[in-house]
Chains A and B, each alone.
Chain A
Amino acid sequence: MSAAGAQGRAAPAVPGSPRLFGILDAALRYSPLLVLVAIWEGLGLSGLVSRQMLPDLGTILSEFWRMLVGGDLLYNTARSLSRSFSGLALAILVGLAAGLAMATARPARLLINPVVQIFYPMPKSALIPVVMIWLGLGDASKVLLIFLGCLLPVVVGAYNGARGVNPFLIWSARSLGAGRFEVLREVIVPAAMPEILNGCRTALAFSFILMVSSEFLIASDGVGYMISSLGDGGIYPAMFAVIFFVAAIGFAADRIYTAIMRRQLRWRNA
C-alpha cells in the first residue's frame, strides 16, 4: 500500500490506543442494559412480581452454568443452529438466483414478482401446521420453514440491488469486452452487494425467530424445545437461562455478520 492519500483518509486519527478506545466505546454503548438488569432485580426484590416469574439473575446464571457443563445446552444449541443455518444457506442460494433472475429477465420477473408480493407480508409461522403435515416432525419440516421465512428478504434484496445498478457500469464493462454473463457476475452482483447483504442480514434474524418458534411446536430437541419444555415444567430459572443464551447467540451472530459485511463493503465508505 503506497497510497499515502488513500490511507490518510481511511483512518481517522484517534488519540491513545485504538483497541482500548474500542472496548470503552462498546462498554459505554451497551451500558443502558444495566438499567434493564436493575429494573429486573428491583421488580423481583420489591415483591410486585413473584420471584417465580422473575428469578434473580444469580440463580439464572448458576442454572446456565449447570446446563452448560452438563452438555445439554450445547447439544441442543448445535441441533438448532444446524437447522437454522441449513435453512438460511438454502434460502440465500435460491433467493439470490431468483432475485437476480427477476432483475435481469422479464419472464422471470413476471413469473416470480406476484408470488413475492403475495407472500411477503404473510407470517411464515402460520405455515408451521401445514409443513408439519407435509414433512412430519423431523428436521426437514423445520429447515423448510426456515428456508421459506428467509427466502423473501434475500429475493427482495437481490432484486432491488440488481435493478438499481448504474447502467453506466454495465456499459463500461460491456465496452471493455465483458459478455452478458460476465456482466452479471462481475458488475451486477458486486454492485448489488450492499442490498444483498442487507437482505441476508434480515434473513439471518428471521432464521433465529423461525428456528425457535418451530421448535416450540414440532421438535424433541433444540433450544426452542428446551424453552417450551422447561416452561411447561415450571423450571423458570433454567428457562430464562436458555432464553438469554439464545438472545446472546442471535446478537453475536448479527455482530459477526455486520463485521463481515463492513469488510466486504469497505469500498463504500473507505
Chain B
Amino acid sequence: MSALRQAPAADGAAAPGASGIRIDTVTHAYRSPGRPPVIALDRISLDIGPTEFHALLGPSGCGKSTLLYLLGGFIPVQEGAITTPKGRVTAPGPERSIVFQNFALFPWKTVRENVLYGLRKSGVGREESEARARDFIALVHLTGFEDAYPSQLSGGMQQRAAIARTLAVDPKILLMDEPFGALDAQTRRVMQEELRAIWQRSPKTVVFVTHDVQEAVFLADRISIMSSRPGRIQHILDVPLPKERGEDTLESREFIQLSEHIWRLVREQAVAATRGRL
C-alpha cells in the first residue's frame, strides 16, 4: 500500500470559482424509431468544483447514468454544453475515468491485467505499474485473486476489480456509477472510507452516483437530488460535515439530521415518480 500512502496529503476543499466540470443546460433525449423520445435529462445545469466530491442521488431511471455517460464523453451532448479545464467534452479521455454500473471489466484479462491496462496506457513504467496494480488490488481486498478472470469472481469482487482499475490511473475527474451497489454492507462501509481517504490524499473531482442516502451524505461535499421523467435536478445541498470522516461521523447529530432531511426529499421524488408511472 506504500505508493498510496505516499501520495501528497491535501485537504479536499473546493477552490471557489475555478470549475472542475461545468454542466450548462444539458438536455438529453433517447430516440428510437417508431417511439416517442425519452427525455432522460431536462436542462441540467451544475457546476462541480475541481476538488469537489459530488453525489448524484435520485430514483431509478432519473438519468443518473446518462449524465455520467455525457460527462465521460461516451455519448454525444445533444443540447447544452459540458466543459472541463481541458475544454468541451466531445469524446472520452483519460483525465475522466469511470467505474460503470455493470463493471465492464475486460473478460479476457485477469484482475491484474485489467488493472494494469490503464496504467500502461498512461505511460507508467512496467515496474511502477506492477507495484501500483498490487497496491490497488490490495486496497479493494482482492489480493490472492490477481490471476483470476472476471468470470471466476462474484459480482461484488468484479465491482471491486473495476474500482481498482479506475482508481489506479488517478484521473483528474472520477466518475462512479453506483460503484458499491454489489457489495455487502460491511465491505461497502470499508470501501466508502477508503474512497474518501484516497480523495483526500489526491484531491480530484468526483461525481458519485448512488441510491443510498447515507452513502451520499458520508462521502460527498455536495449532493444533487434528481427527479425522474424528465430527469431534473430538484435540490442541491451542501454537506456541512468535517473533512475528516469516519465511524464517529455516522453517529454525529449533523449526519443523522442531514440524512433524514435528504431522505424526505428523496422520498418525495420517488413517490412522485411512482405516481407518474401509474
Contact = CB atoms under 8 A, between A and B. Distances in A.
How many residues of B sit at the interface, in one of the four size bands?
A: 35 or more
B144 A3 contact: yes
Interface stretch (B146-154, B201-209, B220-228, B230-238): B146-154
Most B Cβ at <10 Å: residue of A4, A174, A175, A268: A175
B77 to A, nearest CB: 15
B107 A176 contact: no
B108 A175 contact: no
A267 interface: yes
Interface stretch (B55-63, B115-123, B189-197, B248-256): B115-123
Given A172-B100, A176-B165, A177-B94, A4 B144 contact: yes
B169 interface: yes
B104 interface: yes
A206 to B, nearest CB: 27
Nearest to B150: A267
Contact of A5 (B98, B144, B151): B144
B72 A267 contact: no
A173 B120 CA distance: 12
A63 to B, nearest CB: 48
A168 B104 contact: yes
B149 A6 contact: yes
Contact of B98 (A6, A175, A193): A175
Interface in A248-270: 266-270
Most A Cβ at <10 Å: residue of B102, B109, B151: B151
B132 to A, nearest CB: 13
A177 B121 contact: yes
A1 interface: yes
Contacts of A5: 144-145, 148, 152
- Complex A-B, nearest 9 residue pairs according to Cβ-Cβ distance, in ascending order: A176-B118, A6-B148, A177-B94, A177-B121, A174-B92, A168-B104, A267-B149, A267-B108, A175-B92
